[in-house]
Amino acid sequence: MNGERTRESEGESNGATPRRDAPETGARDPDALLRRAGVRGDPNRDQHFLVDDRVLDRLPEYAAEANVDLSHVLEIGAGTGALTDRLLAAGERVTAIERDPDLAAFLRDEFAAEIDDGRLTVVEGDALEVELPEFTASVSNLPYGPSSELAFRLLPEKRPLVLMFQREFAERMAAEPGTDDYGRLSVTAGHYADAEVVEPVPKEAFSPPPAVQSAVVRTTPRDPDYEVDDEDFFMAFLKAVFTQRRKTMRNAVRNTAHISGLGDPDAVVEAADEDLMSARAGNVTPAEFADLATLAYEVGEPGDPQ
């Protein structure tokens, strides 16, 4: 997570954080880390640091209680290292990705002992662009802006995840068919894993507090209980029909061929089950979407989706 840098008066005349004896792993105070790093969050740039010790302590516990392998934990958006510290205490090895070069430099100094021991690797760069390491699980307080893109970079890796999101996003990710929150995000996430909201997190857990509530989602990877002929087309088909979730599936399939890439949407409507075509996307189960997407791929003359 990025932060706006402000210099502290003591020992920073050359712009570098002074090397100090490393605190005991798992004991670093999040507010003290902010002071040592000389940063503060900027709401205008979507910068909010998680500072609640109780929430920080629980994040790795959600993985541990599910018997997740923590031999190599990936953390995205490490910020000043408050969560990194807890992950090092809970697991064997951590790779922390941080885009902000000043914060990456701070992490390398603050956790010099852990890096020297081979227990921590700090990767400076954008988590959407850098090559991800082989990891056994990811526990991360994701930056809100790219959180959906980051989630869908991680989910296909088929590894357990404990991730912090905006609460609305988290609830949509774990929603069941027929509920108000159920949508494309629910089906897409469920294609890769079971997702559950394990804890709502108040605004006051962050510095500065964001404008929205947050929540922690835990995912357990699994294979879906259905098959699709072409995964890329399945995802494009979901994207298409959920743009018209208030329409019947009949109209949604016909009206969104420019998004799904279908060359003959009428053929799909004519071949599909009448009851399914009369339903709305919010009431269609993932397995039904898979069957319909398979049919559409076979008879709908799919081309390149938008």
Residue 2 counted as an annotated binding residue = no
Q: Which two tokens stand for residue 2?
A: 């990025």
285 CB-side CA count, 13 A: 6
**For residue 302, what are the β-bridge partners?**
262
Rounded to whole angstroms, how far apart are CA atoms 138 and 88? Answer: 13
Note the residue count of the chain. Answer: 306
Q: Which two tokens stand for residue 69?
A: 């392998």
Q: Of 51, 55, 28, 27, give the one whose Cα is nearest residue 39.
A: 51
Q: What is the DSSP string of 169-194?
A: HHHHHTPPTTSTT-SHHHHHHHHHEE
Confirm if 95 and 73 have CB atoms less than 8 A apart: yes
Residue 114 counted as an annotated binding residue = no
Residue 50 counted as an annotated binding residue = yes
Tally Cβ neighbours within 10 Å of residue 17: 18
Residue 181 counted as an annotated binding residue = no
Residue 126 counted as an annotated binding residue = yes
Helical H segments across the chain, by residue range: 30-37, 53-64, 82-90, 101-110, 112-116, 147-154, 167-173, 184-192, 231-242, 249-255, 257-260, 265-271, 274-278, 286-299
Residue 190 counted as an annotated binding residue = no
Binding residues: 48, 50, 77, 98, 126, 141
Binding residues for S-adenosyl-L-methionine: 48, 50, 77, 98, 126, 141
